[in-house]
Amino acid sequence: MSTAHGLDAAALMLDANVGTVDPTGVLNAMVPRIARVLRRRREGPGVWTLEIQPEETPDAAGAPNQSLSKDAACAPGQFNMLTVFGVGEVAISASGDPADRGRLVHTVRAVGPVSTALAQLRAGDTVGLRGPFGKGWPMEEMAGRDVVIVAGGLGLAPLRPALFRFLAERDRYGKIVLLYGARGPGDVLFRREMEKWRRFGIDVEVTVDHTVDDWQGHVGVVTALIPRAAFDPSRAISVVCGPEVMMRFSIAALRHAGVAADAIYLSMERNMKCAVGFCGHCQFGPVFVCRDGPVFRYDRVSSLLGLKEI
């Protein structure tokens, strides 16, 4: 549906999504701005955390362009599109502190050409940046309730911004439980931070699928931690992120533990291209993961989970 300004309704939704108020926001959302890599840190085999800082981009008249400013705010659960010039673009969730507005943090696993190229960037290299996009974790709804975080593998990265928020506003939330499953001891992400999370009153339980070393923690799947966790299911809200199979089993365990279907949120992963609900690559039934997600309330997408093709 076109408007008097020649923009269609989807474009206006996009406009709201990127937080700009003028029609040029549509274009801005599609045009990457330049960001510079500040630091790269190895998290595990093939997994790297990149800290990047958007560069201030002047408009056509040479003045600072407000919509392309250095402000790098990204709400917990949102994602950015990162471009490695000459290679391609990929959607990566933010994994840093949402209060840090000067830089963006993304944790990436080298699996395809773009993510592999991203993981090889060094301090001083440039990347293209679009975003932030999507709907994140329901931070306001979690206030005053017990929070059960279930993460698997790299799925801890999109939940890390929420953990920063929990630490900053610890009194706003009830009991916070983090249940994290990884492939092996060497794959556990943010291991050093976990002690800090514990000191701030977060119950952190980590399990690994396989181990042959002297690992003293839990061994087994992350779903096995759910019945052992201490929380009140009647006042709990749960956020789940990881491979889809792991999320389906985790949700079943959460439901069995008494957590309501409308109190479970999950972050979906699909092949996101435009990130603004135009191209349809990430269409998930009646919704677009990039625009309507990536975080969805479970009861709204439960019928779509597990379908072989949509």
Task: Return residues touching other proteins (CB under 8 A).
Answer: 46, 109, 111, 152-154, 181-183, 187, 207, 209-212, 215-221, 223-224, 227-228, 242-243, 245-246, 249
Residue 168's H or E segment, with its range, is helix 160-168
Decide whether 221 or 304 has the Cβ nearer to other proteins.
221
Rounded to a whole number of angstroms, the minimum distance from the CB of residue 222 to other proteins is: 9
Long-range Cβ contacts of 51-54 (<8 Å, 24+ apart): 51/96, 51/103, 51/104, 51/105, 52/82, 52/103, 52/104, 52/105, 52/106, 52/127, 52/129, 53/102, 53/103, 53/104, 54/104, 54/129
Rounded to a whole number of angstroms, the minimum distance from the CB of residue 41 to other proteins is: 19
The Cα 73–Cα 301 span in angstroms is: 28
Rounded to a whole number of angstroms, the minimum distance from the CB of residue 110 to other proteins is: 8
Rounded to a whole number of angstroms, the minimum distance from the CB of residue 107 to other proteins is: 14
Decide whether 70 or 248 has the Cβ nearer to other proteins.
248
Rounded to a whole number of angstroms, the minimum distance from the CB of residue 194 to other proteins is: 17
The Cα 290–Cα 272 span in angstroms is: 6
CA 305, 133, 296 angle in degrees (round to 5)?
25
Residues in the chain: 310
Please check whether residue 133 is in contact with residue 80, taking contact to mean a CB–CB distance below 8 angstroms: yes
Decide whether 11 or 159 has the Cβ nearer to other proteins.
159
Decide whether 30 or 221 has the Cβ nearer to other proteins.
221
Rounded to a whole number of angstroms, the minimum distance from the CB of residue 187 to other proteins is: 7
The Cα 275–Cα 186 span in angstroms is: 32
Please check whether residue 78 is in contact with residue 94, taking contact to mean a CB–CB distance below 8 angstroms: yes
The Cα 54–Cα 71 span in angstroms is: 7
Decide whether 142 or 259 has the Cβ nearer to other proteins.
259
Q: What is the DSSP letter of 268?
A: -
Decide whether 149 or 237 has the Cβ nearer to other proteins.
149
- What count of other Cβ atoms lies within 10 Å of the Cβ of residue 241? 29
Q: What is the DSSP letter of 275?
A: S
Decide whether 105 or 154 has the Cβ nearer to other proteins.
154
Decide whether 125 or 205 has the Cβ nearer to other proteins.
205
Rounded to a whole number of angstroms, the minimum distance from the CB of residue 106 to other proteins is: 18
The tokens 């799947």 sit on which residue?
A: 221
Rounded to a whole number of angstroms, the minimum distance from the CB of residue 97 to other proteins is: 25
